Chain A
Amino acid sequence: MDCRTADKLQGLFLDNRLTGEQRQAFLRHVKDCHVCREELSLAQDISVALRALGNVVEAPAGFAAGVMASLAHTGNRRSATPVRERVLRWKFAAAGVAAAAAVALGTYSADFVRMAPLPAPVPVAERSSGNAGEPVQTVTPDETAVHGEATVTSRQVPHQVALSTATGTGKPALPPATGTIPSAQAETPVFLSSDHRLLSTVTKLAVADLAVAKSRALELATASGASVEEVAAGLDGSKSYAVLRCVVPPARQDSLLASFAGLGDVLSSTTSSADQADEVERLLTQYRNALAELQMCDDSQARRMLQAEADELKARVERLDFECTQRVVVLWLTEQ
């Protein structure tokens, strides 16, 4: 056997897929050839290293709930669900995923600080309806105004403005969920934020009664015009905690922080600024690629998937852009 053949058979040897005869010949060669012996030894080490990397990972808490919430939403998409109920479902779905993400990221509380500058997880409701290749269900600003849902209203703003194109047709720049759209139309979005820096403050509070503090915090946040999501809740050792993520207009950040401080003892408060320009660029590139691929694609199922991907990317860029014009306040409440 020559080295070339031995190299070809090496993987099959490792996987125990050689015949008895091939195996003998392979081993004879390796015994005599130190180059192939070293190659085999390295291949075995790599295989061991790979297997060590492949641990079992548990799905984060709240994962199944997030999936079910998202299904509940998409399953009722066509029915005439009252607006208010749709809004609540949307929030539930978003909170489910966000909570799971927060648990995944915040296994150690020290790591939590890293979470703050990250863009919020894409609400499942939007993503999943996009996956089905159908128009993303959103609540119009008028509807939200009627119901006073600050959460949704804040997300509508970038929808209307952020990705309007420089071509200025007055229509949203993004393609309808079906049909082809010239990709150039989506290539020059007008952003709300000029520099894409995300300013966030993480405030950790010790409170006497978690439920009371949380509901008070939600009231305060809503009153200050912030959109607020509960992104995590659970037990840290023996203490229960809840984490709220608020996106608040800059002018109201200080008053919101001051009112939060009144809810308990401030353990720490850290403000940081994260440059999101690369992330915006990355998402935009992916978005353009998806649109370009969509234009070249004939298969209807693949088109639906690409459209869903484009819709999701669009939503993520818009959200990130919008949040860069706001202030992110993450309130971590721990029961004393």
Chain B
Amino acid sequence: MNQGMDPLVSKLRQGDAGAFEALVVAYQDRVFTQCYHLTGSLADAQDLAQEVFLRAYRGLHAFRGDADLGTWLHRIAVNTYLNGRRKYRPEALFSLDDPVPGTDGDLTRQLAAQTEDPVERLERLEIQAAVQEALAQLSPDFRAILVLREFEDCSYEEMASLLGCSVGTVKSRLNRARRALRDRVKDIIKTDADNRSGTPRT
């Protein structure tokens, strides 16, 4: 991939707008997905992804030709998200009811189409809903690291590089993030269960 991109990089550095457009087209889905994962809303993902490419354009001179363009863009996305976090509304995070444009269609439809035991499916959806809710309540630092690990499947080393910290910091932050998420999920499930069992009596 690196090697294939090298001519593009040199064209980019010469200020070839066509080359930059090729870069945007080649990476737009990947960057957009990463931005959607980070912000949790399509509208915010759009703003963030736009900003990522504008920053990339301005920062082209700083790009080392030997690095991977995708990784470089990903790092810009994570940094831009973490630096501009107040812009993004956590309450907008991942609504299952919202249609998600993409090759797989919307999430709801995708979930409905799966063939599995109805009870298991219900439990899974319940956990999924609780996870969504819990994730939205986490701090951006925790959310970012969980997104990188679970959504993007980054290795510890990749996360350290993206976040500009040591692998040790990644391990401890990820551990704390997971614990925070788990505690919230438990609270949410318990509250839901209490609400359900409380209803018939009243």
Taking beta carbons and an 8 Å cutoff, which residues of A are in contact with B?
7-8, 10-12, 15, 17, 39, 42-43, 45-60, 63-64, 66-68, 70-72, 74-75, 97, 100-101, 103-105, 107-108, 111, 121-122, 124, 128, 131-132, 286, 289-290, 302, 305, 309
The distance from the CB of A23 to the nearest CB of chain B, in whole angstroms, is 16
Which residues of A sit under 8 angstroms from B124, Cβ to Cβ?
45, 48-49
- Asked whether, in the complex, the Cβ of B29 is within 8 Å of the Cβ of A286, the reply is no
Given contacts A50-B146, A131-B55, contact A64 B42 (CB under 8 A): no
Residue of chain A at shortest CB distance from B106: A107
Known contacts A59-B28, A68-B24, A105-B42; 17 further A-B pairs (Cβ under 8 A): A8-B175, A11-B174, A50-B146, A50-B151, A53-B128, A55-B104, A56-B103, A57-B45, A60-B42, A63-B24, A64-B25, A66-B50, A67-B50, A68-B21, A71-B17, A75-B17, A100-B46
Q: How far is the CA of A132 from the CA of B55 in the complex (A)?
A: 9
Known contacts A53-B94, A71-B17, A71-B54; A59 and B49 CB within 8 A of each other: yes
Complex Cα distance, B47 from A63, in Å, reads 10
A57:B181 contact, CB within 8 angstroms: no
A285 to B78, CA, bound (A): 24
CB distance from B46 to the nearest CB of A (A): 6
Report which B residues bind A (CB closer than 8 A): 17, 20-21, 24-25, 28-29, 31-33, 36-37, 42-43, 45-47, 49-51, 53-55, 57-58, 83-84, 86-87, 94, 99-104, 106-107, 110-111, 124, 127-128, 131-132, 135, 146-147, 149-152, 156, 171, 174-175, 178-179, 181-182, 185-186
A42 to chain B, nearest CB (A): 6
Interface of A is mostly: helix
| Bound complex: CA A72 to CA B124 (Å) | 47
Q: In the docked arrangement, what's the CA distance between A122 and B83, Å?
A: 19
CB atoms of B49 and A63 under 8 A apart: yes
Do B152 and A46 have beta carbons less than 8 Å apart?
Answer: no
| CB pair A64 B46 closer than 8 Å | no
Residues of B within 8 A of A290 (CB): 86
Contacts known (A15-B149, A51-B151); A104 close to B94, Cβ less than 8 A: no
Q: Would you call A64 and B24 a contact (CB within 8 A)?
A: yes
Q: How far is the CA of A8 from the CA of B37 in the complex (A)?
A: 26
Instruction: List, in ascending order, chain B residues with CB within 8 A of A11's CB.
Output: 171, 174-175, 178
User: By the criterion CB–CB under 8 Å, are A46 and B185 in contact?
Assistant: yes
Contacts A50-B135, A51-B151, A54-B152; A42 near B186 (Cβ below 8 A) = yes
Which residues in A have their C-beta under 8 angstroms from that of B29? Answer: 56-59
Is the beta-carbon distance between B127 and A63 smaller than 8 angstroms? no
Give chain B nearest CB distance to A240 CB in angstroms: 18
- Our pick among B46, B171, B182 for the contact of A63 (Cβ within 8 Å) is B46
Cβ contacts under 8 Å, A71 to chain B: 17, 20, 54, 57
Q: Which of B42, B54, B55, B107 has the most CB of A within 10 A?
A: B54
Q: With A and B bound together, what is the CA distance between A10 and B175 in angstroms?
A: 8
Q: Is the interface of B mostly helix, strand, loop or mixed?
A: helix
CA distance in complex: A5, B97 (Å): 39
A63 contacts which chain B residues (CB < 8 A)?
Answer: 24, 28, 32, 46, 49-50
Q: Which of B51, B83, B124, B186 has the most CB of A within 10 A?
A: B51
**B68 to nearest A CB, angstroms?**
19
* Interchain CA distance A12-B170 in the complex, whole Å: 11
Task: Please tell me if the beta carbons of A104 and B101 are within 8 angstroms of each other in the complex.
Answer: yes
| Minimum CB distance partner of A128 in chain B | B54
The answer for the CA separation of A60 and B37 in the assembled complex, in Å, is 15
CA distance A128 to B186 in the complex (A): 43
CA distance A15 to B155 in the complex (A): 9
Chain B nearest CB from A237 CB (Å) reads: 16
* Nearest CB in chain B to that of A132: its residue: B58
Contacts of A100 on B, CB cut-off 8 Å?
46
Residue in chain A with minimal CB distance to B45: A57
**Complex CA–CA separation, A121 to B83 (angstroms):** 21
Chain A residues with Cβ below 8 Å from B54 are 67, 70-71, 74, 128, 131
